[in-house]
């Protein structure tokens, strides 16, 4: 190959000239003179024994042989650039970034990060307040776990786990109020929920309505503007809250919270793992995404 193409740099010059369709524009891109571009192209043509461009008056037109070479060169340079960026990201760049809501990040993701099987991969958790305001960087190492209620055009979207909702309270609260016989009995107790102004998901009225129970319009809920406050209020024995499997599943499993009734509601909505399509995930980041999807399925099955 070196007999035909004495320097790999000639291919970079050729790629620029073919894309720009101008020696002058290629020279600006490469920060060299037009004469240097012309000389490099002439070297490449002599080595290959063919004409790559037809020089017309104020116009440069690629030949059939030139077009054939350009397809291969462009594809090869794109692959080299992808690999170079991945190596740079893997060895020198920052951690794999996983964006999650404050609740999912605190109660589901954080306890699992230490179980990631590759010790050489650093996973950095980034917390966000709203899916609608989330802007995932196009860096090949960032992804987000979202609640599935926001559309993500231009993103790779992977279904993560179904949204499963059920009542939860502290063991002490349940002991104090005694056994709860049915859903209607809940309306005689203190119900905790997230302010609908801060949350576009299911409320107690939605949950009870799905289960065939009408909630009085004048029922006074204990309302909070952050779901973590709802969870802490339930843990403190203040009442019964709605629990999302991927937020409170571990708390139920370890006994911090209990289910006062064996009833749940699957909204049909699914959590998702999303990432940018215009900058696909590196192999290492894609492995983290696949791990998240796998343990998400495990948590869903456990629920």
Q: Residue 24 pLDDT more than 70?
A: yes
pLDDT in tens, 41-89: 898 888 889 999 998 877 889 899 989 998 888 888 888 887 777 666 5
pLDDT in tens, 147-159: 776 788 889 999 8
Structural domains in the chain? 9-91 (1.10.10.10), 96-156+271-302 (3.40.190.10), 163-268 (3.40.190.10)
Q: Is 149 exposed, middle or buried (0-12, 13-18, 19+ CB in 10 A)?
A: middle
pLDDT in tens, 108-144: 999 999 999 988 888 999 988 776 678 888 888 999 9
177 vs 274: CA distance, rounded Å = 43
**Torsion angle, alpha carbons of 209, 214, 217, 220, to 10:** -80
Model pTM greater than 0.75?
A: no
Instruction: Compute the radius of gyration of the chain from its Cα atoms.
Output: 29
Give buried/exposed letters for 223-233 (b at 16+ CB in 10 A, else e): bbeebebbbeb
Q: Residue 94 pLDDT more than 70?
A: no
Comparing 57-71, 120-134, 162-176, 280-294, which segment has the lowest mean pLDDT?
120-134
266 vs 297: CA distance, rounded Å = 15
Q: Residues with Cβ < 8 Å from 31, sequence gap 6 or more? A: none
pLDDT in tens, 186-245: 999 999 998 877 666 788 998 999 889 988 888 889 999 888 999 999 999 999 999 988
SS3 at position 191: strand
């Amino acid at each position: 190959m070196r007999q035909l193409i004495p320097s790999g740099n000639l291919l970079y010059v050729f790629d620029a000239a073919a894309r720009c369709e101008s020696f002058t524009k290629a020279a600006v891109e490469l920060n060299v003179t037009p004469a240097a571009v012309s000389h490099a192209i002439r070297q490449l043509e002599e080595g290959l024994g063919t004409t790559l461009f037809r020089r017309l008056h104020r116009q440069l037109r690629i030949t059939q042989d030139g077009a054939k070479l350009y397809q291969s060169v462009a594809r090869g340079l794109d692959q080299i650039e992808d690999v170079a960026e991945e190596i740079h990201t893997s060895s020198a760049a920052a951690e794999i970034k996983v964006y999650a809501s404050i609740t999912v990040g605190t109660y589901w993701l954080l306890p699992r990060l230490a179980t990631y099987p590759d010790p050489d991969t650093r996973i950095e958790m980034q917390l966000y307040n709203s899916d609608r305001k989330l802007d995932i960087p196009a860096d090949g190492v960032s992804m987000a776990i979202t609640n599935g209620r926001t559309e993500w055009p231009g993103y790779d979207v992977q279904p993560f786990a179904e949204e499963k909702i059920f009542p939860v309270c502290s063991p002490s609260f349940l002991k104090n109020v005694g056994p709860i016989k049915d859903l209607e009995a809940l309306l005689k107790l203190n119900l905790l929920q997230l302010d609908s102004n801060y949350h576009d998901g299911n409320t107690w009225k939605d949950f009870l309505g799905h289960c065939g129970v009408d909630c009085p319009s004048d029922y006074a809920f204990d309302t909070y503007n952050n779901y973590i406050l709802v969870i802490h209020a339930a843990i403190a024995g203040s009442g019964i809250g709605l629990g999302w499997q991927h937020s409170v599943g571990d708390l139920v499993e370890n006994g911090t919270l209990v289910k006062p009734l064996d009833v749940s509601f699957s909204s049909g909505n699914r959590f998702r793992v999303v990432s940018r399509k215009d900058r696909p995930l590196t192999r290492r980041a894609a492995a983290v995404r696949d791990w998240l999807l796998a343990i998400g399925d495990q948590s869903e099955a456990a629920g």
